Structure 1
Amino acid sequence: MTSREWLTTPIGIDAGTWVTRVGCRTVLAVAHTIASCHRLLDVVDYVEEDFRVQVVFTVAPDVFNQQVTGHLERLGALVLPWEQAVRERFDLGIAASWGGLHQLHTPLLVTAHGAGRSKTVRPGPNGGPPLASPAVYGLDAQRLTHGGRVLPTALALSHDHELEVLRRQCPEALEVATVVGDPCFDRLVASLPHRPDYRRGMGVEDHQDLVLVSSTWGPDGLFGHVPDLLPLLMAQLPPDRYRVAALLHPAVWDAHGHRQVRAWLRSCREAGLLLPDPTQDWRALVVAADRVIGDHGSVTAYAAAVGRPILLLPALRATPAAGTPQHLVIAEATHLDPGQALLPQLAAARELDREAVRAALTGHPEQAGRLLRRAIYQLLGLTEPGRHRRATPVSAPRLSGQEVRP
């Protein structure tokens, strides 16, 4: 049975017997984590309405993949077990991370799952001398090649700067690289006019400032390095004038468990902290925010690119790669001192040069949908159907500062 015979069917033996639509091209969306799943959903949106295409999902091996299957099933996606996905053939695979991709039988389109590729590769567990120029993760030969061949059929880059990094680190992958811009940023921009709706949906009054705290995962992130920050904010900011929301990287929730994270923040939530589930679209909170307290994660860079004043935890061990928006934000933003009063520091937080951050973030602003869609249809061997619609705003978040269940 070919993939085109079983697609659009239930999973199992003789599934092809129950096909309703036949002859479709099969696109396999490979989700590794909730973070990469957010990016995948943006990308498959360019093709899944086409009657000639069936999109199916699978969850690849990853230490942080515990919540992905449930999230996809709640969205109504057809999810194939990984064990089945590696046995079948597909017309195209789309991924935003790397684990297990060499096991798949499909041409591969690989995108970033954050604000470009900013992370540098740290030494292995056995240590070793520091590298003069650490490799940029996702543009290195270790990720891009397998068994002596380039793994992706198409590598989607956000910026011409990434081409230069690729030329240094893995020149054999240049022929599959294409600069398409940043689809996540384009949807963020499309969402800006809906700021009043997002704020109203969160219960933020017109006279209130929404302070968004964004933390990446790991001990260098805000939540790991300054664990008392959220309680301090709830205690020091006048509740009639300020609301506080926390965006914790999905890997924080997966590493510690949803129940534990909510328990740690129970008192803050009782005091009105807005704590969205990691499956919620974080971009609505960035649009709604008046100020952002962040770290070296991607959310801080996106917030700076749309003009949100930034108060930044200084970089600790890992400095983002030069030329990336994260590196620019760290160099230019006002730095947070958790030991000092927070209200004056928030007042001193300032907007960065949003055009400079945008220029480092995307080489084709508001064009990623058109360019990615073209690449997808070329890989599928199909003509593009008509004119692509513009980037759509994200949905309003569903959350409540008064919901306090552990």
Structure 2
Amino acid sequence: MAAATRLFDVVPLLETDFRVQLTFTVPHTTDTWHGLDDYVHGQGGLFLPWAQAIHHQWDLILTASHRHITELHGPLLILSHGAGVLMSRRYSRKAGTADRPTTGLDRELLTYRGRVVPEVIALAHGDELRALEELCPEALPKALVAGDICLDRMLASLPYRRHYRNALGLADGQALVTLSSTWSPESLFGRMPGLARKVMDEFPGHKVAFVLHPQAWAVHGARQIKSWLSDCLRNGLLLIPPEEGWRATMIASDWVLGDHGSTTTYAAAVGCPVTMATCPGANIRPGSLADIVRRHAPRLRGDQPLGPQMHRARSQANLRHLVSPAVSSRPGRTATILRSAMYHLLNLPAPACGITATSVPLPRPCKDL
């Protein structure tokens, strides 16, 4: 789901062109990620079964996942589905007792039988070039430092903060506290499932929102997520659906309690006050985006009242200036860079008109339990 939502940041860069027809497909093994097919179908695009897609020669393939890329035929552009390509965890969730750290630029992800699979590897930051040179030097000619389109869209949305707050039902002067959790036993929700209740109890006059990683919804199912949070939902918790809304919610927030996931990093990058509620220190890659946030954002103290901790986070004015340049080295330019690369692969001249990142939609919290 995270990969799918990232692609829907990218496809508007070319889908208005009369020379271009977009088709969507989902790998057959992703039936374990509940709701993904429904989400892609719900976008209204032309959907092609995977078994048919792998037998077609495509003019351009866009993906934000390494899964099954060797099965498709045509020039492939791959980008990250989160903040940064290198990942913040030292070891993959699937690595078990791995002997060496893993990243999104490992040779086994980018090559097949000695061939570099992607035609273009979109990187968010120039520092990732050095990592690629070390991990898979044969892929270096395919690298393109494009920046981060998610960050660009969030930055373009900052002027609409009041609109996002209105959509979430916030009154003038009312604070919004948002919980941001990735998915894993080490996540905020995995380690502190009762935090939403604690925040609501200590801030009865505030609004509280919860942003969960799309994979948490896919693994557990919407019914289970809502059941676990049912008491909070009945008392006004704003549960943000996995498809869209988390970015607008972060922009609307007055304080974000997060973990090592990308949503917390993006919140810090656009200037949201952030406190790290939990972080798996031993499995965080030194120098990663999560490590930067962890080192400079205050830590949540469970034995202290939340009010002073919120004030402390809101006084950390330098966090954005540390995190945002680390997320993207091409701020505000990603749409232009990616569109140019896509049209080059299509062997078509790009439209003469310029293009910029668009603001994100209004948030629409889940309504039913």
Give the TM-score taking structure 1 as reference length.
0.86
What CA distance in whole angstroms lies between the structure 2 residues aligned with 1:373 and 1:248?
30
What CA distance in whole angstroms lies between the structure 2 residues aligned with 1:388 and 1:69?
33
What CA distance in whole angstroms lies between the structure 2 residues aligned with 1:269 and 1:106?
46
1:214–1:247 contact (8 Å) kept in structure 2: yes
Deviation, structure 1 residue 63: 6.7
User: For 1:188, what is the secondary structure of its paired residue?
Assistant: helix
2:91–2:283 contact (8 Å) kept in structure 1: no
**Amino acid aligned to 1:353:** L
Q: Which moved more, 1:59-68 or 1:47-56?
A: 59-68
Q: Which moved more, 1:317-326 or 1:376-385?
A: 317-326
Aligned residue in 2 for 1:36: 3
1:131-171 CA-partner distances (Å, limit 9, x unpaired): 3xx23x21110111111111101000000110010011110
Say which of 260, 265, 271 aligns to 1:307.
271
Deviation, structure 1 residue 123: 8.4
**Amino acid aligned to 2:188:** L
Say which of 39, 50, 75 aligns to 1:71.
39
Aligned residue in 2 for 1:93: 61
Deviation, structure 1 residue 125: 5.9
User: For 1:184, what is the secondary structure of its paired residue?
Assistant: helix
Aligned residue in 2 for 1:267: 231
Report the number of matched residues.
Answer: 364
Deviation, structure 1 residue 124: 6.1
**Amino acid aligned to 1:45:** P
User: For 1:335, what is the secondary structure of its paired residue?
Assistant: coil
Whether 1:55 and 2:19 are equivalent positions in the alignment is: no
1:108–1:152 contact (8 Å) kept in structure 2: yes
- Higher relative contact order by CA 8 Å / sep ≥ 6: 1 or 2? 2
**Gaps (5+ residues) in structure 2?**
none
Aligned residue in 2 for 1:342: 306
What CA distance in whole angstroms lies between the structure 2 residues aligned with 1:64 and 1:234?
34
What CA distance in whole angstroms lies between the structure 1 residues aligned with 2:32 and 2:363?
23
User: For 1:105, what is the secondary structure of its paired residue?
Assistant: coil
What CA distance in whole angstroms lies between the structure 2 residues aligned with 1:84 and 1:284?
37
Change (3 A) 1:126 1:37: closer
What CA distance in whole angstroms lies between the structure 2 residues aligned with 1:180 and 1:151?
19
Deviation, structure 1 residue 300: 0.9
What CA distance in whole angstroms lies between the structure 1 residues aligned with 2:93 and 2:289?
23
User: For 1:349, what is the secondary structure of its paired residue?
Assistant: helix
**How large is the Cα RMSD of the aligned pairs?**
1.7
Larger radius of gyration: 1
**Amino acid aligned to 1:244:** V
1:300-359 CA-partner distances (Å, limit 9, x unpaired): 111111111111034215544333322210111100123433233222224343122111
Aligned residue in 1 for 2:147: 181
Q: Structure 2 matches for 1:152-301, cutoff 5 A? A: 152-238=118-204, 240=205, 242-301=206-265
Give the TM-score taking structure 2 as reference length.
0.94
2:245–2:365 contact (8 Å) kept in structure 1: no
Structure with more helix by fraction: 2
What CA distance in whole angstroms lies between the structure 1 residues aligned with 2:7 and 2:92?
26
**Amino acid aligned to 1:37:** A
2:75–2:118 contact (8 Å) kept in structure 1: yes
Deviation, structure 1 residue 178: 0.7
**Amino acid aligned to 1:338:** G
What CA distance in whole angstroms lies between the structure 2 residues aligned with 1:380 and 1:286?
36
Whether 1:376 and 2:346 are equivalent positions in the alignment is: no
2:188–2:278 contact (8 Å) kept in structure 1: no
What CA distance in whole angstroms lies between the structure 1 residues aligned with 2:238 and 2:329?
34
1:266–1:404 contact (8 Å) kept in structure 2: no
What CA distance in whole angstroms lies between the structure 2 residues aligned with 1:180 and 1:251?
26
